[in-house]
Structure 1
Amino acid sequence: MNTQMELPENGLVPMVRNGDEPYAAYDEAFEPSIFTRLWRIIWNNRLIVAVIIGLTMAVALVLTLLATPQFTSVARIQVNRVEANVADVEAVEPAGDALLYDEFYRTQYALLESKNLAERVARKLNLQSNEEFLSAFDIPSDGEIVTANQRRSIEITSDLLLDNIQINPVVGSSLVDVGFTSPSREFSRTVVATWIDEYIAANLERRFDATGDARKFLESQLAELRTRLEDSERQFVGYASQSGIVSLPSTGVQGAERTLAASDLAAMNEALVEARADRLAAESAFRAGAQQQQNQVATSLRSERARLSGERAKLLAQFEPGYPEIQSLDSQIAELDREIAAAIGTGTADLQRSLRQAIDRENGLEKEVASYRAAFNSEQQDTVQYNILRREVDTNRELYNSLLQRYKEIGVAGVAASNAQLIDAPRIPIEPSSPNLALNLAIGLLLGLGIAGAVLFAREEMDRSLRDPSDVKGKLGLSLLGVIPRIEDVDLYEELTDPKSAMSEAYLSVGIMLDMSTSHGFPRTLMTSSTVPSEGKTATSYAIASRMARNGRKTVLVDLDLRNPSVGKRLEIANDFGAVNFLTGSDDIRSLVHNEFQPGLSVLTTGPMPPNPGELISGPRVAQLLESLLQDFDHVVIDAPPVLGIADSPVLGAQVEGVAFVIEANRAGLRQIVGAISRLRGTGSNVVGAVVTKADDRNLDYGYGSEYGYGYGYGQSSSGD
């Protein structure tokens, strides 16, 4: 019973399990590594890789031998971030930490490769008429560099210099290597020396130009500020004179400068405070009777009276009051009392007079302070504008002094030395720097590897043939009957004749799978076909038939490829008569069969070439041929034509019990194979499985080939079909 399968639009059939459940073709854990696959691709295409690499290296060798020797002269300079200064003043351009490290050195490297520096060198060396330069670069006398105007010539030569200059910073240092390459040793050294000189000169010129521009700018600013300062000073002095404001010099305290009115007011206020203190002291002395403590005459008289009173008291202790000495003392004490009373009267008058004087002085000072206060208040109103004008004068003076100081500093900073110093002077090179044979060959090798890789990648992407035999199940929906390796330098049919040969063992698995293809075992009628010619279907047909004969089954091998018969030719059997004779009317099938080839195996060749093979195959005699053969043989194995291009195989497939489809590995595209299988199934053919033939190293990645098959050597089979 033939099983039909609908193919998806892309023509590929997913592998199925239990009839309709899709599953993965194989687990990724069993896939070969990417390195293994890459190595296999390279090894399988080793001839292409060798040819490409050989060609690229040969081209590199020829170009190296034909190239003009180039000489590179190199000098080393040191570029400092902070240049040496004669004076401790700042320059116009920022230096040192003012510029970041990377920013500074990238700027210097760009300056070393600048167009302006190249033009300076070209002008310095006068390259337009420099014979050494013209001969080194093979510039003809009528070339544009020589004939063009000076400006155009400088542009061209500077571009040529930039193409050959090399600026190589020494990593992790402030050193820079400057090199130039040309066919002339001397010219290379000259260019490098001039390049460094012009770089240093350009740095100095740029610094002096910046200083000059700054000085010019500051001169104009100073002139403007000078005029502004003079005008503000005139306004300030005029207003102070008009307002009568007299400013006194500072006494040393910042901001302590005062006007004359304020100073007078402060002095009068201090005098008033002092007068009030004197007046209060006089009042206190007058009210408290302090005059007695302050009158020295009265004090001394009291002391004398106290002494006399003491003597009188002593005498009274011994004598009576009428005692003459006591009376004398009484007279003296009475006189002292009169003198004390007179002295006390004189101190009170003095205190009253002092009090009146203190009050008068205080009143007078109060009037003076009031008048000074009024004058000061009036002056304060005028001081607002006075202070505004004074601040403007101070501001203009500070700006002027700052710019004047900066102007002087810039003049001194102009004497700074260059920040670039020559470390190693350029020398005349002895050996050429290029061409480098080893380097060029290495480049040729790498280029060859790259081209070979691209070619192999393109081939792999364009190759849509059957690589992985498991795709027979996964993409074609067929059972894999077996994988047959490619064999070189061996007669395939001699190998198949020997049942112990490696090839016979390979086809043994095919026969075993066919034994299980139907419910009753091996199909009684089996056809082999392929997508295109020369895929190994004839060898497969013979191997299957030979195996059945060795197993004791009477088998006949029938060649029905009427357009290109090959069974008779491969087995060296005369093709004088055969299937064509029966299809054209002969009924004696036994006389057409060759029975002497192998015990148990008979062969029916095609016979004479018919003019209409398509009509014979599609006629009713094919079915009669099969019925006649089955009467004498247990199994009929048919070697049929390929499917694509002709309709013979689809017609034959509908009349046999099973079809073994032969697929040559790495040849026909999967889309072609799917189309061929679809044509067979479209006519009702029962495709029982597929045999993958001629597996070689390209199939090792998928577990098939010499290393995974049967230990066979590989090579191109001598059999075409």
Structure 2
Amino acid sequence: MPSPRKTESLVPAAPRSTELAIAEPTLYLPKVEPGRLFGILLRRGWLVILGMALAVGAMAYYVKKAPKIYVSTGSVEVSSHAPRVLNIDGLSPEDSKDLEQLRTIERNMASSALLMRVAKSHDLFTAKDFAPPGTSEQGVVALLASRTRVELDRGTRVVVISVEDTDPERAKSIVESLVSEYDLWIKDRREDLARRAVEGLAKEEEKLRQSMDAANARLQEFRETHPVPGLEGREGSGPVTDQLGALNTQLTQAKSERLRLEAEYESFKKFDPEDPDSLGGIATTARSEEVLSLSRSLQAKELEFAKIKERYLFKHPVFKEADREVTSLKEDLIGAVRSAGKALERSYHVALENEAKLQGEVEGARTVAIGVEGVRSNFDALKREADAARELHATVDLRLRETALTSAVAASAITWAEPPFVPEKATKPAKKILFPLAAFVGMMGGFTLLVGSELRDGRVRDSASAARATGAPLLASLPPLEAGREGDMVLLSDPASPTAEAFRRLRAILLPPQAKPDARTILFASAVPGEGRSLCAMNYAASLAMQGQRTLLLDGDMRRPGLSREHVKAEFGGLGDYLSGKSDPAKACFPTALPNLYLMSSGPMRDDAAELLSGTRFPALLEDAYRWFDAVVIDSPPVLAVSDALAISRYADRVCLVVRQNASERKNLRKAAEMIRATGGNLMGFVWNELPVRSKGHSAPEPVVPFSHPALAGPAAEAKTGEGSASPESSSPVIS
């Protein structure tokens, strides 16, 4: 037997960390578990089936009551070049060369004005099977618009028209009417525009006719008032104009001659015999021919004299002869220039006088011609005015006749590509779409109810949920027991059952490690009553006893009947009497039918259990028990019901939480685990109890621990105790 613990261990130890290591940090985080989802479907799958059934049933009722809708479809082709008779803006047929114009035709075929014409042509305003009685014209047109679809086929010049109606014959007729009424509508628009244009053109034509007549009258009156010869001829054909033109021509010639003579005379005046370049300004005429000949002879002689200067002196006869010839030629040139200049001067004065005379005659002729030209310009202005009035009247009169013809010309740009047919089958309601859609909507609604009910139901239904709620691992799972055996010690009654094997597995897990051999106190707790806490404590203690460990099963529930209270007489006392100092604990400790297993009763019910368990006598009791027992298993009240379990958990080496399927709620488990850790309890994990929850009227029997009478004696039993005892009677422990 291990030696007794020291007295300082009576002081509550510091909180201990959980000894079972968690291999994966995210083990207890929420996750998708196929098993749990399958369990949810098994429990609440009827909601999904019910939702689908209701949705499909409602859809079947709707399909049965809903009117059948037939769709008639046709298409028209838009021509790129419509017949074009007139070239008047607003009166010419629709141009459909670009996409914008095609879209315009598409929009016009679905316009409210055209739909109004179609509705009137089919008496839709009074048709009871088309619209409810009392529907306004705007409502009928809106209903027809919702049932009509006009769409330009992309990449083509084809407009597809489809109409939905309860009457297949009327659906086909409405498609045909949309095309025919569109042609009539366009024609009416052209006729209206043509009528207004004719009225305006007729008024304008009358005004232009009056203006034309007035212009012709003024022109004729001018002719009679001014009988000028050649008045209506072309410009310049009159005698006065011809004479003035001839004089202007003569004056121009005289002025040119005078300017020529003046230039030549100025050249002769500037002539320098010593400067041969001055001859360049003299024109080649009969007068200047002699001067130019003498100038060329002089230049040649001067060249020859220059050569003689180089060979002979100035006194040489050859030099003198050449000098005389040069001097003679210069004198002859000067004389010739003077004679020619005088002749030119006389000719210049004659030309100047001739120019002056012609200028006077031109001025006189111009005076006469101005009067004649004024008459001609007035006549030309009146004639142009009359011609313009005549041409404008002719243009307007032609346009008036053309516009009058527009109402008789059909210039539609659309032709049938695919005429509509009478539909044979109804397209709405679409059963192939509505029933799967209803089933899907019902399924989603059922899933919504399933998820909502599952979220509202906080009960723990699987061990994974319990692990996430408590933050502790699963230690063992207890399979369901047969009815009526929920309170048995299964290790004795059915040692080969899965439940007995589960307790053996729990025993192996909770055995103290070699590093801490003194961790011998196991506390079984639960969040709420009825989770199987006492059953687990009893069977776990039995598993330790069957392994050969001397085990004390301590009933710590002093609030309600538990493992021993109904089977122990009041005179034997119990845990409550010992903690209050009224009894010896040896009177409440009994050997059981299982060797090495002893039961300590909780005693009568007490209201001050929490205060007693929080005192110093309870840890002293545990220290004294460690001298005689290898393990102490404690059954405590529920954690959330009273605080007794929290007072005990700080002194237990290990705490094991018992969770029952469908009995505990996640929030309660989470709260219980947090409270145990907060008080310093070492929460090792939890036991998953799969025993079904029974109703209050069919509650399961409470666990019962078989024991022997009488209770153990104090000093007498202590004297008989020896470590080599072979039976419980000869080796019974004594708690003093």
Q: TM-score range by the shorter chain?
A: 0.5 to 0.7
Unmatched runs of 5 consecutive residues or more in structure 1: 6-14, 140-144, 292-353, 569-573, 695-713
Matches within 5 A, 1:401-412: none
The residue aligned with 2:608 is 615
In structure 2, what is the equivalent of residue 689 of structure 1? 684
How much identity, in percent, do the aligned residues show? Answer: 20
Equivalent residue for 2:568, pick from 577, 586, 593:
577
TM-score, with length taken from structure 2: 0.57
| Partner residue in 2 for 1:635 | 631
Between the aligned partners of 1:556 and 1:46, the Cα distance in structure 2 is 45
Question: Aligned match of 1:87 in 85, 104, 125?
Answer: 85
Q: Deviations over 1:146-196 (max 9, x none)?
A: xx5xxx5534544554555566766655242413232xxxx3322441354
**Contact (CA 8 Å) 2:472, 2:683: kept in 1 or not?**
yes
| Offset from partner CA, 1:423-452 (integer Å, 9 cap, x none) | 555544444434444333201122023324
- Change in Cα spacing, 1:487 to 1:394, as seen in structure 2 (3 Å) is farther
Amino acid at match of 2:574: F
Matched, 1:288 2:286: yes
Q: 1:216 aligns with which of 196, 199, 203?
A: 196
- Correspondences of 1:521-670 after superposition (within 5 Å): 521=517, 523-535=519-531, 537-538=533-534, 540-542=536-538, 544-561=540-557, 576-577=567-568, 582-583=574-575, 585=577, 587=584, 593=590, 595-596=592-593, 600-601=596-597, 612-616=605-609, 618-619=611-612, 623=618, 632-662=628-658
Q: 1:655: how far off?
A: 4.8
Q: CA deviation at 1:595?
A: 1.9
Structure 1 128/89 Cα, relative in aligned 2: closer, same or farther at 3 Å? Answer: closer
Conservation of the 8 A alpha-carbon contact between 1:73 and 1:427 = no
Does residue 70 (structure 1) correspond to residue 68 (structure 2)? The answer is yes
> In the TM superposition, what are the counterparts of 1:351-500 in structure 2 within 5 Å?
363=356, 365-367=358-360, 415-455=409-449, 458=452, 480=473, 482=475, 484=477
**Does the Cα contact within 8 Å between 1:510 and 1:691 map onto a contact in 2?**
no
- Aligned residue for 1:330? none
The within-5 A match list for 1:253-402 is 269-270=248-249, 272-274=251-253, 288=286, 363=356, 365-367=358-360
Deviation at 1:483, TM superposition (A): 6.6
C-alpha contact (below 8 Å) 2:459/2:662 kept by paired residues: yes
Q: Is the 8 A contact 1:556 1:636 kept in 2?
A: yes
Contact 1:90–1:413 (8 Å) recurs in 2? no
Q: Which residue of 2 aligns with 1:344?
A: none
| SS of match in other structure, 1:690 | strand
- For the 8 Å contact 1:514–1:522, the answer to whether it is kept is no
Structure number with greater Rg is 2
- Alignment check: 8 A CA contact 1:654 1:686 kept: yes
Matched, 1:179 2:171: no
What amino acid is the match of 1:528? F
Q: Does 1:190 align with 2:170?
A: yes
| 1:519 Cα offset (Å) | 6.2
- By how many angstroms is 1:96 displaced? 2.0
Q: Residues of 1 paired with 2:179 and 2:361: CA distance?
A: 81
| CA spacing shift, 1:494–1:70, aligned 2, 3 Å | farther
State the aligned residue count.
585
Measured at CA, do residues 103 and 422 of structure 1 come closer, stay the same or move farther in structure 2, by a change above 3 Å? closer
C-alpha change, 1:126 and 1:416, in structure 2 (3 Å) is closer
Cα 1:441–1:473 change in 2 (3 A) is closer
Q: Which amino acid aligns with 1:154?
A: E
Give, as a single letter, the amino acid of the residue that structure 2 aligns with 1:482.
L
Q: Secondary structure at the match of 2:439?
A: helix
Instruction: Describe the shift of the 1:276–1:70 C-alpha distance in structure 2 as closer, same or farther (beyond 3 A).
Output: same
Distance (whole Å) between structure 1 residues aligned to residue 676 and residue 107 of structure 2: 76
Q: 1:45, 1:456 within 8 Å by CA — same for their partners in 2?
A: no
Deviations 1:578-637 (A, max 9, x none): 9995246575767764622x5555566778xx6x55434543698387567656532222
The answer to whether the 8 Å contact 2:114/2:178 transfers is yes
Give a deviation string over 1:52-91, Cα, whole Å, max 9, x none. 4433444245425632551414131225274632537476
Q: In structure 2, how many angstroms separate the alpha carbons of the residues matched to 1:268 and 1:465?
A: 133
Q: Given the superposition, is the C-alpha separation of residues 281 and 630 from structure 1 closer, same or farther in structure 2, using an over 3 Å criterion?
A: closer
1:125 to 93, 117, 122: 122
Q: Identify unmatched segments of 5+ residues in structure 2.
A: 1-11, 265-282, 290-346, 578-582, 703-736
Q: Tell me the SS of whatever aligns to 1:659.
A: strand
- In 2, Cα distance between the equivalents of 1:511 and 1:387? 137
**TM-align CA RMSD:** 6.6
1:250-307 deviation per Cα after TM superposition (whole angstroms, max 9, x unaligned)? 99xxxx999999999888655544555688999999962799xxxxxxxxxxxxxxxx
Give SS of 1:633's match.
Answer: coil
The normalised TM-score by structure 1 is 0.58
Q: Is the 8 A contact 1:575 1:605 kept in 2?
A: no
| SS in structure 2 at match of 1:619 | helix
Per-residue CA deviations over 1:466-522 (Å, capped at 9, x if unaligned) read: 89989999997x653637487799988898777887667766776566446896347
- d(CA) in 2 for partners of 1:416, 1:509: 101
Aligned to 2:100: 100
How far apart are residue 686 of structure 1 and its match? Answer: 1.6
The 1:599–1:461 alpha-carbon spacing in structure 2 relative to 1, beyond 3 Å, is same
Q: Is the 8 A contact 1:658 1:688 kept in 2?
A: yes
Give deviations 1:106-162, integer Å, cap 9, x for gaps: 625xx53x55555444433334654xx45x88x6xxxxx2xx5xxx55345445545
SS at 2:632's partner residue?
strand
Shift of 1:197: 0.7
Which deviates more, 453-462 or 191-200? 453-462
Quickly say closer, same or farther: Cα 1:118–1:233, change in 2 above 3 A.
Answer: closer
User: Is the CA contact 1:248–1:260 (under 8 Å) kept in the aligned structure 2?
Assistant: no
- Give the conservation status (yes or no) of the 8 Å contact 1:665–1:693: yes
